[in-house]
Amino acid sequence: MQNLVAGLRYLVNNIGLVAGLFVEHLRLAAIALAISLLIAIPLGWLISRVRWLRGPVLGVLGVIYTIPSLSLFVLLIPVLGLGPRTAIVALIAYAQLVLVRNVLVGLAGIEPSVIEAARGMGMNGWQRFSRVEFPLALPLILAGTRVATLSIIGIGTIAAFIRREYRHYDPGARRQRDPARDRAPLGARGPRPRVTFAGLQVGMSDVRRFAGSQVGTLEPSNLRTF
């Protein structure tokens, strides 16, 4: 009960900050969803026409979807750096499986006789897609969009680990070596960043210390947007 009261008090005292973070989160999710749809609809239409592409495309998207979100962020940081761009790319990748699969099911489920009737009326390929196929597949596309939206909003919260306050991070810069540290025994050197395919761990002890320092106190200075 005390935690609930403290949370409500913090919300009332910092309503401007919370509203700004809320709008920023919605903006991030809206951008990722819009770009995801622009990619998924043509890709779903393509694999609905080319059957042998369905297995490879859905397989690759399924593998991407199984990667833990924090691990995917870590893998993208050396390429894209820290900031909203990395978060948007990761969110787009996660949304593709649901969207592409629903577009494929919606288009593949249309009766061939309907397509033949549209072709017999003299419609070209674009007219058949825009006037017949897409409207018939729209209910399934909207269902996938709802699921993808929930996924994007949920995974987007983890993007706080790659906030803009680290905008001076240079992915190509080499870490400065400390001669004293290098001469020390391995056990006394402290945690070293590492990447392993077994766990995709990248200095998780450092991440835990960072997370604990950020959520230890509910101060406005600890909550920053992109």
Report whether pLDDT(114) > 80: yes
Please give the single-letter amino acid code of residue 48. Answer: S
pTM of the predicted structure, to 2 decimals: 0.68
Q: Looking at residue 103, what is its pLDDT?
A: 94
Q: Looking at residue 189, what is its pLDDT?
A: 47
Those residues whose C-beta lies under 8 Å from the C-beta of residue 205, and which sit 6 or more positions away, are: 191
Q: Could you tell me what percent of the chain has a pLDDT over 70?
A: 71
Q: Looking at residue 22, what is its pLDDT?
A: 86
| Span 2-168 CATH architecture | Orthogonal Bundle (1.10)
pLDDT digits (tens, 9 = 90+) for 10-32: 888 888 888 888 888 889 899 99
* Max CA pair span of the chain: 80
Residue 163 phi/psi, 5-degree rounding, is -75, 165
Map 156-207 to HEC letters. Answer: HHHHHHHCHHHCCCCCCCCCCCCHHHHHCCHHHCCCCCCCCCCCCCCCHHHH
Q: How far apart are CA 86 and CA 97, in angstroms?
A: 19
pLDDT digits (tens, 9 = 90+) for 130-172: 888 999 999 999 999 999 999 999 888 887 777 654 444 444 4
